[in-house]
Structures are given as C-alpha cells and as structure tokens.
A and B are shown apart, each in its own frame.
Chain A
Amino acid sequence: MTTRYDLAVIGAGPAGLAAATLAAKRGVSTVLLDEQPAPGGQIYRAITQTPVRNPSVLGSDYWHGADLVGPFRDSGADYLPGSTVWSVSRGLEIGLSREGAARLLPAKHIILATGALERPFAIPGWTLPGVMGAGAAQILLKTSGLVASGNVVLAGTGPLLWLLAWQYLRAGARIDTILDTTPRENWRQAMPHMTEFLRSGYIGKGLKLLLEVRRKVKVIGNVSALRAEGDGRVQSVVHRQGDGAEARLPADTLLLHHGVVPNINLANAIGCAQNWDEGQRCWVPTVDDWGATTVEGVSIAGDGAGIAGALAAEHRGRLAALDALHRLGRIDRAERDRDAAPHREALDRAQRGRVFLDTLYKPARDFRVPQDDTIVCRCEEVTAGQVREAVKLGCSGPNQTKSFLRCGMGPCQGRLCGPTVTEVIADARGVSPAEVGYYRLRPPVKPITLAELASLPKSEDEINAVLHH
C-alpha cells in the first residue's frame, strides 16, 4: 500500500462511503479514514454489526446503509477504521491517531465527510445525568440494542425526534410523553413550501410515522419552555405550553433534540471559509456545486457542507469524488460534468422538500437563545448570562468571549456551545449571527496525548509501520 494517497476521505457515513467507492472504482488510490470501528457514520451506525436483528425496528431507510457498504468493500479503497483525524494542513497532510499512535498522512486531495451533530439544546438542567440527545439514544439502540427505561420523556422538534419515537415503539420500548416544541407559527411559514414537499418521497413515509407515534404516545404540543430538574440526575421535566402554567412530569430519561447542524470543526480548523445559513440557522462551510471549499485540495461532501440528509449525502459524495478525479487530472471537465448528470438529478430529487422541513422544524428563538441561568458551555460551565455580561463589557464575538470566559475552550472545542453562543451574542447586540462570527477552531480538533505527539514519526517506513501493522 502507498502512503501518499491520491484521495483521502474522512468519515465513513453515506457521503464518505459513496465518495471513496466511486473514486477507488475508477482507479484512484483512495483511503477512507473513520473514527468509528465500523462503517456507516451516525445515520447508518453499526449497519454491519447491529445487535438489533429485527429489521422492522430500525426501518428500511436504515438498512439502505448496507447498499453502500457492500460496493465500498469491493471498490479497492483502503479502509482505516478507528482513525481519529485531529488535523489537516494546507499542504494536505492529515494528522491522525490510530491504536494509540499518531501519524501524518499526506494526500493529494481530501474530501471531508464529517457529517452532522445534534444542534446544542441548552435548557436549564441539560447537563444532568439522564438528559441526553435523542440522536445519542438512537446510537445506543443501533450499536447496542439499548433503550431507555423507566419514565422516558422526549422533547424538542425535528424528524429525528419522531423517528426515534417510532423506532422505540417498534422495539417495544416505552415513551411516557413527547413534548413538542415546534412553534405554531412555523406551520404558517412552512405552508408556501408544502407543494414542493408533497412532491418529495418523504411525505407518505413521514405522515405514517407521525400518525403511528401520535396514536401511541401522549404528545404535548406548543411547548414554549423546558427545564430538567433533579438531585444528581434528572428526576423531572418542567414544561410550559404556550403562555400556560408550568407543569411537571416525572422523568428518568429526557431525550432532547431540535435538529442537526454541520460538524464544521475540522473544516474550520483547516481554514475553510464558512457562512451563516439563515434558513438552517447554523454555520456552513462555503462550498461550490462540487463541494470544493475555499482551501485548495479540500472538499466537503454530505451534511458537513450543509444539512440535506442521508440520501443527498450519497450523491454529494459522488459529485465531490468526480470533481476530485478531475482535479487529480484523471478526467477532463466534460467527462466530469457528463458523469455527474445522473447524480445531480438524484441529488435534486433527494433535496426536494428540504425547505419545508427546515422551516417547519426551525427551533423557536427561546430555545436557541437561552435564559441567563442556563449553562451554554458544558465543558467550562459558562452560562448564557455570563456571555451577555461579557458582551456588555465589549466582547463583540465568540472569540472574545472565549478568551474572556473560557467559553468554548474545553475539550469539545465549541461543538456543544458554538451555535448557542453565536445566537446569544447576536441577540444581545441586536445584529445578525453572520456579523458576530464563529470560533476560530484550533487543531488538534480531537485531543491527542503528549506521548502521541512526542513520538510522531517522520519517515515513510515509520508511517507504514503504524498504518498497516
């Protein structure tokens, strides 16, 4: 095996699998690096090894992941699971750790397929044990066949919340209550996009799923405030419907979700330009139609370049791979464009109805811009009120509040506070999040040990020894 690959793909979700498969099949030396021990990313997590054997529990959309893994295995691409990528340099050298050793791996082109993460949902008490992301609960289900027990409350908005509820019911797990935070006015704003949504493939499936969940679980709608309470762990969820009075539900587990946002840390640390997406209310790397970023040799495919979902991610992966082939001199522009045509068409189909979903499930302001007493930075335990105080003193953006308060300086590197801090500062200053900006993220984007750094090998032999032992 070579150590200077033509193409390195980072992330083995749908975008990464599809990109690596296409490139390798067309003769490009390709490596797929992934932090997980098995392919699938988060959406198809544990697709090759889930202990949940009854296919109707996770649903046919999940099992579609297997259609990506087979061709990838046959593609000839090298696959390095368990690889944590902590840096990519402008010279396209990838810093990675694998089995306790760190290495620098050069490539000629890099496709980031780092996917999405759940939008931080900062409510009072969200740091209590027993409170976790709905996506996290779904990962426990996929990887381990584990479901929450006792009093289980789901709260928030967005397709994943309902999908998890549906999967839980299929699995025979119990959900006490769903607290739906979808603002009523979102329906009115989403209506103009309904026609397009009706033409998408989602409508039938989505409605069926929603109705099934609503038939079996108590759903409290128009929830405008949420708080988790408990001594040492969550014991109850306090909520309010519209302008109504507070009510309390017993809870052993509270699963929160209000959408997903691109996982931009690696792209940001590389220095790829990013822009604020007003519709999805998040930062997205600035890319062209092929996923190419502002940094030469680095492209992004899938939800990491803006949320469009798993099916779109596949097609975006293939488009990025075709552009990589072109940039590597393997195909000319005409061939790239010709071969891309079916994928573009498929991408358009997969993205149909997206605006409707984005509009309908846009989280309410009060959940994006929390009250003063709410912790926004879980690592350094900084509250929204402290951020507002720093703004009053003259800190005008997230980098200043970071330096001043350590907000965003913990090991998660702002992944769990960045979007909230941007919105809190923008709200306090009365300006757009675009003007406020975002953290300058620093490598290593995942921690490495001093031992790994101290023993970074330099020669090709040393690199080979680590990658292929």
Chain B
Amino acid sequence: MPEPATSQPDVIVIGGGLHGCSAALHLSLRGAKVLVVEKDYIGRHASGVNAGGVRQLGRHVAEVPLSVASMALWHRIAELVDDDCGFESHGQIKVAETEAELDQGRARVAQLNALGFTHEEVADRAELRRLVPAIADHCVGAVVSRRDGAAIPYRTTFAFKRKAESLGARFAEGAAVTRVARSGTRWRVETADGGRFEAPVLVNCAGAWAGRIAAQLGEPVPLEVIAPMLMITARMPPFLKPVVGATGRTLSFKQFPNGTVLIGGGLLGRAVPDENRTELDYAKMSVNARTVWDLFPNMRGATIVRAWAGIEGRMPDDIPVIGPSGTEAGVFHAFGFSAHGFQLGPIVGRILADLITDQTTDLPIDAFRIQRFRQTAVAA
C-alpha cells in the first residue's frame, strides 16, 4: 500500500508499461502528482519483452507524424530519462526479394514524399549490400529509414519509470485494478490488493487489458489480445547493424551489440491474459526460421536459445487508441498499439500530458479517437 499522500494524486495511470511510464514522466515534468497502478510489475508484458525496434519505417500514414516526433525524442533519450536505454541508430531496412516488391517500396516512398515526409528512401541492390553485407543474393533492393534503430525494451521502460519516480511519481506494483468508478468529480480506482485511490484524472494505458477498463467506462472496444512471438540466438560474430524486415514475409531481424540475434516480426502465438501466459506456435516459428534461413545464409548454423511471446492489444485497424474518452470527462486512453507501440512511447506520454494539462496537443491524433469503434464495438 502506498503512503497516504500518494492516494490523493492529480492523475492515476492504469498500466505500468512504456506508455504508462512515459505519461507519468511527462506529467511529472509538468508538476502533476501521478500514481501509476500496475497489476504485475513495471514492463512485465509487451513493454518489457518486445523486439525493441525503434522504427518509423513502414508505419501507417496516420502514425507517421507521431513517429517522426518520437524519433526526435529517441535521439536525445538520455536527456529525457538519464539513461541511453541501449538505443542505437543504425537504420531499419525492409528488404525486397523481387522487383515487384521493390516497386511496392518505390510507391510507398513516393506516397510519403507527397505528404512531405522524407525519412524513407529506396536502396538499390548495391546499397542494400553495403548496409547488410550478409543478405542473400536474391534480394534486389530495399526501403531504408536511416535514423531508425533499436533499444532495449525493459531497460527503457524501467528508465522511464525511474525518472518519473525521481520527479515524484509513485508506482503501485502488484495492484490489479478491479473497478473504476466516478465518485463526484473524481475517479475512484480499486485494486485487488485492497488499494483505494482517487484522482480527478484517469489514464488508461493498460495494454492488452485496456479493453476491460474502457468497457467499465461505457465505451467497449474490439481489442484483440495477441501474443507476438520472438526468439533469440546464442551470441554470433558481429555481422549486422541495422534492423531488417522483409516486404513479402513476416520478419524482424536484428543483432544486439552483445552478438545475440533476435528473430521476430509478429507471427502470433496464443495469449492467455488471465493467467499472464502465452503459448508458442512452433509451426509458425518454423516458418520464421525458414525466412531467416532464406535471407541470411550465415544464420544456418545458429542456435536458438530462447523463445517467448509478449501479451499485447491489437485494434482491428492496426492503429492505437490515443485521446480523451468519448463518454467520460477526465479520462484519457492510450492503448491498442497493435505490436508496434514501443517507438511511439516517448511521444505518446507527451501527448497525454498535453491533453491533460493543456486540453490540446499539436500533433494530429484524430485518427486514433476511440469513437471510431462506436459502431463495431463488442463487449470486452
């Protein structure tokens, strides 16, 4: 149980993932008293166990302005959280295995250019080999986003938490929210371990569990709980700096500075959110391994030492919910990042702080309104 002072915060954030911790940090920077209520521990689920990709490349056009703004924060991340979060910027690359795939990439770059964004560019066969010497011979080119990179997820989430904490934010871990209800002008949050908290503002950053919170607020959303799978190898000699994806197949592939190689890309296992548990699907992992076999011949002797899946929330249109509640004043949402929220973490916390302290934000978030699901909502 937190000390009495913290049970009267200005803002209660539900969910201690990266977005919740980022919201706590940005709100604390503006002097708000924040309490984060987390059912497990900070970074326990998707935020702590994702692939760590810091990627603008290939994003939905609605996310691009946020992603570009977040990238600026990533490149100065130590100024924000006093830790470099293991962030390294060696670019992200989406490989084309055929001319048709490369044409898709050209069209995408042209579309972004027309919108005024220049971070993605086409790389020809030679440039692809310069960037990724280990790539298989048959690959014809790629789309590249050079300022992209990767960071270490748990370390990042933990750094946001610690910085927020140093500014006065409080974290109640092991506190699963059982009920949220209005109590006059305030929100009352009850947790399974007996916690009772009240604040005028409530933020829902509960990730895969956010749909339940939204439903309690009278705005159910069609959030799907998913479990993207990842696997990692024993240490290998250094051979790859950028993060590599593929155009025609599911892949996210990168080598950490310590030599281990992470293989993912979003193939799904099975999530059992009520038990904090996931099950792997080896048939799909086998497909993932086959993709690596095809694209990186040097990986054929690699050993897989660990595989896992995080628990994450996905929306039907694959973009998140960010913004004020459509039913209740004093409630804000940021969830449903659909397995690509890590890069957005730094900026989403700032947007939430904007909305809470200034009632507006300078970034375009209309596409992420929760009201877009009013017609299709199902009870979560």
Decide if A and B touch, CB cutoff 8 A: yes
Beyond A87-B282, A404-B155, whether A451 also contacts B41 by CB under 8 A is no
Is A443 located at the chain interface by the 8 A CB criterion? yes
A-contact 0/1 string along B143-176, CB 8 Å cutoff: 0000000000011001001100100000001000
Tell me the chain B residues, 252-294 only, with Cβ under 8 Å from chain A.
Answer: 258, 275, 277, 279-280, 282-283, 285-286, 289-290, 292-293
Nearest CB to that of A410 among chain B residues? B305
Nearest CB to that of A89 among chain B residues? B279
Q: Are A451 and B300 in contact (CB under 8 A)?
A: yes
Is A432 located at the chain interface by the 8 A CB criterion? no
Beyond A403-B154, A404-B155, A444-B306, whether A104 also contacts B289 by CB under 8 A is no
Chain A residues near B154 (CB, 8 Å)? Answer: 400, 403-404
B-contact 0/1 string along A83-99, CB 8 Å cutoff: 00001011000010000
Chain A residues near B62 (CB, 8 Å)? Answer: none
Chain A binding surface SS class:
loop
CB distance from A285 to the nearest CB of B (A): 16
Is A59 located at the chain interface by the 8 A CB criterion? no
Q: Are B299 and A413 in contact (CB under 8 A)?
A: no
| Bound form: Cα–Cα A409–B343 in Å | 24
Q: Are B289 and A393 in contact (CB under 8 A)?
A: no
Segment of A240-248, A361-369, A452-460 engaged in the interface with chain B: A452-460
Beyond A89-B279, A271-B277, A450-B299, whether A409 also contacts B306 by CB under 8 A is yes
Q: Are A394 and B162 in contact (CB under 8 A)?
A: yes
Is A2 located at the chain interface by the 8 A CB criterion? no
Is A133 located at the chain interface by the 8 A CB criterion? no
Tell me the chain B residues, 285-319 only, with Cβ under 8 Å from chain A.
Answer: 285-286, 289-290, 292-293, 299-308
| Bound form: Cα–Cα A87–B282 in Å | 10
Is A411 located at the chain interface by the 8 A CB criterion? yes
B-contact 0/1 string along A241-283, CB 8 Å cutoff: 0000000000000000000000000000001000000000000
Q: Are A444 and B41 in contact (CB under 8 A)?
A: no
Is B233 located at the chain interface by the 8 A CB criterion? yes
Q: Are B41 and A396 in contact (CB under 8 A)?
A: yes
Residue of A271, A399, A409, A454 with highest tally of chain B CB at under 10 A:
A454
Q: Are A403 and B155 in contact (CB under 8 A)?
A: yes
| Bound form: Cα–Cα A413–B305 in Å | 8
Nearest CB to that of B281 among chain A residues? A89
Is B43 located at the chain interface by the 8 A CB criterion? yes
Is B234 located at the chain interface by the 8 A CB criterion? yes
Q: Are B293 and A454 in contact (CB under 8 A)?
A: yes
Is A448 located at the chain interface by the 8 A CB criterion? yes
Q: Specify which of A403, A409, A413, A454 is in contact with B289 (CB 8 Å cutoff).
A: A454
| Bound form: Cα–Cα A325–B118 in Å | 67
Beyond A394-B158, A411-B234, whether A400 also contacts B41 by CB under 8 A is yes
The size bracket of the interface on A is 20 to 34
Q: Are A442 and B307 in contact (CB under 8 A)?
A: yes
Is B48 located at the chain interface by the 8 A CB criterion? yes
Chain A residues near B258 (CB, 8 Å)? Answer: 406
Chain B residues near A442 (CB, 8 Å)? Answer: 306-308
Chain A residues near B277 (CB, 8 Å)? Answer: 271
Beyond A396-B41, A453-B285, whether A444 also contacts B162 by CB under 8 A is no
Chain B residues near A395 (CB, 8 Å)? Answer: 158
Chain A residues near B280 (CB, 8 Å)? Answer: 87, 89, 443
Nearest CB to that of B155 among chain A residues? A404
Is A306 located at the chain interface by the 8 A CB criterion? no
| Bound form: Cα–Cα A443–B307 in Å | 6
Is A449 located at the chain interface by the 8 A CB criterion? yes
Q: Are B282 and A454 in contact (CB under 8 A)?
A: no
CB distance from A131 to the nearest CB of B (A): 23
Q: Are A450 and B292 in contact (CB under 8 A)?
A: yes
Tell me the chain A residues, 105-124 only, with Cβ under 8 Å from chain B.
Answer: none
Q: Are B286 and A453 in contact (CB under 8 A)?
A: yes
| Bound form: Cα–Cα A444–B307 in Å | 7
CB distance from A95 to the nearest CB of B (A): 6
Is A51 located at the chain interface by the 8 A CB criterion? no
Chain B residues near A90 (CB, 8 Å)? Answer: 279
| Bound form: Cα–Cα A448–B173 in Å | 36
Chain A residues near B308 (CB, 8 Å)? Answer: 442
A-contact 0/1 string along B30-52, CB 8 Å cutoff: 00000000000111100011000
CB distance from A101 to the nearest CB of B (A): 12
Q: Specify which of A271, A404, A409, A450 is in contact with B293 (CB 8 Å cutoff).
A: A450
Q: Are B173 and A396 in contact (CB under 8 A)?
A: yes
| Bound form: Cα–Cα A453–B275 in Å | 27
CB distance from B135 to the nearest CB of A (A): 16
Is A130 located at the chain interface by the 8 A CB criterion? no
Q: Are B306 and A454 in contact (CB under 8 A)?
A: no
Chain A residues near B275 (CB, 8 Å)? Answer: 271
Nearest CB to that of B276 among chain A residues? A440
Chain B residues near A411 (CB, 8 Å)? Answer: 234, 303, 305
| Bound form: Cα–Cα A442–B227 in Å | 14
Is A37 located at the chain interface by the 8 A CB criterion? no
Given contacts A90-B279, A449-B304, A450-B299, 18 further A-B contacts (CB under 8 A): A87-B282, A95-B282, A104-B282, A393-B158, A395-B158, A399-B41, A404-B158, A406-B258, A410-B305, A411-B234, A413-B305, A444-B306, A448-B303, A450-B292, A450-B293, A450-B304, A454-B292, A456-B286
List 11 A-B pairs, Cβ < 8 Å. A89-B279, A90-B279, A393-B162, A404-B155, A444-B305, A447-B305, A448-B304, A450-B293, A450-B303, A453-B282, A456-B286
